[in-house]
Amino acid sequence: MHVKKVKSVILAAGKGTRMKSALPKVLHTIFDKPLLAYVLEALDKSGYIDEKFVIVGHEAEKVENYVNDNFSGAKCVLQSPQLGTGDAVSKVVPYLKDFDGYVVVVCGDTPLIEPDTIKNFVEFHDNNDADLTVMSAVFDNPKNYGRIVRDKNNKFTAIVEEKDATPNQKAIKEVNAGIYCINWKTVSEAFSNLKNNNAQGEYYLTDIVKWAVEKNLKVQSYILDNNEEIFGINSKIQLAQATKSLNKKSLERLMEEGVQITDPNSTFISPETTIEADTIILPNVYITGKNQIGKNCKIGPFSHIRGGAVIGDNVRIGNFVEIKKSVIKDNTNVSHLSYVGDAKLGSHVNIGAGTITANYNPISKVKSETIIKDGANTGSNSVLIAPVTINEMASVGAGSIITKDVEAYSLAVTRPPLRQLSNWVKMKIEQLSGGIK
Ligand code: UD1
Ligand code: CA
């Protein structure tokens, strides 16, 4: 393939009215990651995109801050007011004056798009020396999509929006998936010729097809294999459906890699979590963010891993345990009712039921680290006030509140000594039954 340079425009200026939210649509999250990030990462992973322009408009500042903080290769371009998808793409014209390469246009609200699909799409465009390639998909119910219109020789000639379509055109099942590869040198002129004389009074990106056909340029469609990939999120119902799809894919990948998942219906594991073979995930486990989990572990039921966890082999994470941003080495158990956050646990550590790493100071807002070295153990209901270190083989007595480092091989206990009041209960009973008046 002789692909020159490929840039991308990501449409993310729309309001997303149906989300009924103060948050811009593309910043809604699946497994704590914004929809927009899924799209930007898929573009990066396709291997062809060297620069990305995110078109922002509604709540532009929030989207821009997110992009600037997380994606160095992306630049935000403001579209205000939002006059349609064609108007949106036209905003990058000043940045691409002498650009001689391809521009891939995608929507920021389609998190299921796969890197390989983008890669194959760009290669298809390039191999055919096309001027414009539109990704299409065939739907039994094509409602709301733009239709791919072909002439009697089956030549692709235009895209007609549902709202502008004739009854015959509405019957067409091949639709515009909303992803385009544009040979910028030959097609960019189209953006200064768009008109808004249509049902929505918008400047349609889709009109570049007709423009290019009239100029005798090479226009083609690329039919998508898996329709799910262009699933766009417009509502919270669709957000939940996309979450389910991503989760399903993630669980299937893990099971194919040898992870045992007892109940996929009640298990959520983010796509960025890796788990090695023969680890067992019991029901009602929620794992979000980026995590690494080793082999032969047992996780759940009812465990919550929140991201940044690096867990070794033969580790037990039991019920009602929450793990955040922590390293846990081989053969360590955190079996019940514990919170482990910003911690480093060695190997052969045993964390007693109800142990809490108190990592956060809500006044200073500082988070601190807890270190528990090899072979150490904590008794039930221990509170470890970070920053603190429990050294090798040390033991923390049940119910202790640890505010200072604990020496290797020592026992640390902070609970008051036990008092026993003999016959106290008997005395109370006698008092109540009127023994003493
Ligand atoms: C668009 C296509 C339609 C296609 C469908 C696929 C047009 C005219 N129609 O329709 O053929 O089948 O996508 O999903 O392009 N946006 C902006 N600025 C604007 C308007 C929209 O950035 O001024 C963004 C939106 O935030 C959204 C994307 O562009 O991410 C698509 O816009 P939307 O209005 O949802 O287009 P559709 O009506 O779905
Ligand atoms: Ca629209």
Nearest atom in ligand 1 to the alpha carbon of residue 177 is 6
Please give the order of strands across the beta sheet that includes 370-372: 273-275, 291-293, 309-311, 327-328, 343-345, 370-372, 388-390
Same domain assignment for residues 49 and 173: yes
Task: Note the helical H segments in 271-405.
Answer: none
Residue nearest atom 13 in ligand 1 by C-alpha distance: 178
Residue 402 β-bridge partners: 384
pLDDT tens-digit profile of 277-307?
A: 999 999 999 999 999 999 999 999 999 999 9
- 15 pLDDT band (50/70/90 cuts)? confident
Q: What is the pLDDT of residue 228?
A: 95
CA 140 / ligand 2 centre spacing (Å): 21
Please tell me the pTM assigned to this model.
0.94
pLDDT tens-digit profile of 312-338?
A: 999 999 999 999 999 999 999 999 999
Q: What is the pLDDT of residue 61?
A: 97
CA 194 / ligand 2 centre spacing (Å): 16
Q: What is the pLDDT of residue 434?
A: 79
Same domain assignment for residues 264 and 399: yes
- In the DSSP assignment, the letter for residue 232 is P
Residue 224 phi/psi, 5-degree rounding, is -70, 140
Same domain assignment for residues 162 and 179: yes
CATH of the domain at 54: 3.90.550.10
Q: Does residue 294's CB lie within 6 angstroms of at least one atom of ligand 1?
A: no
Domain span at 114: 6-230
What's the CA gap between 339 and 323, in Å, rounded?
6
Give the pair of three-digit tokens for residue 281.
């995930």
pLDDT tens-digit profile of 375-413?
A: 999 999 999 999 999 999 999 999 999 999 999 999 999
Same domain assignment for residues 283 and 365: yes
- 3-class state of residue 134 by DSSP: strand
User: Where a domain ends, among 166, 197, 230?
Assistant: 230
Per-position DSSP letters for 179-212, written without gaps between them: EEEEEHHHHGGGGGS----STT----TTHHHHHH
Total domains in the chain come to 2
* Mean of pLDDT over the chain: 97
Helix axes 35-46 and 60-70, enclosed angle (nearest 10)? 40
What's the CA gap between 104 and 379, in Å, rounded?
58
CATH of the domain at 390: 2.160.10.10
Task: Answer whether residue 125 is part of any domain.
Answer: yes
Same domain assignment for residues 202 and 107: yes
Cα dist. 421→43, 143, 424, 427, 436 in Å? 71, 78, 6, 11, 20
Torsion of CA 108, 160, 197, 84, to 10 degrees: 0
Nearest atom in ligand 1 to the alpha carbon of residue 232 is 14
pLDDT tens-digit profile of 233-261?
A: 999 999 999 999 999 999 999 999 999 99
Same domain assignment for residues 194 and 171: yes
Residue nearest atom 37 in ligand 1 by C-alpha distance: 145
Read off the pLDDT of each residue in 211-222 and give the average, rounded to a whole number.
98
pLDDT tens-digit profile of 45-65?
A: 999 999 999 999 999 999 999
Q: Does residue 111's CB lie within 6 angstroms of at least one atom of ligand 1?
A: no
What is the Cα 146 distance to its own chain's centre?
Answer: 28
CA 146 / ligand 1 centre spacing (Å): 10
| Burial (CB count within 10 angstroms: exposed 0-12, middle 13-18, buried 19+), residue 89 | buried
Per-position DSSP letters for 44-57, written without gaps between them: HHHS-EEEEEEEEB
Residue nearest atom 16 in ligand 1 by C-alpha distance: 14
User: Where a domain ends, among 209, 230, 251?
Assistant: 230
Which of these, 223, 202, 2, 215, lies nearest to 102 by C-alpha position? 2
User: Is the pLDDT reported for residue 1 higher than 60?
Assistant: no
User: Where a domain ends, among 185, 209, 230?
Assistant: 230
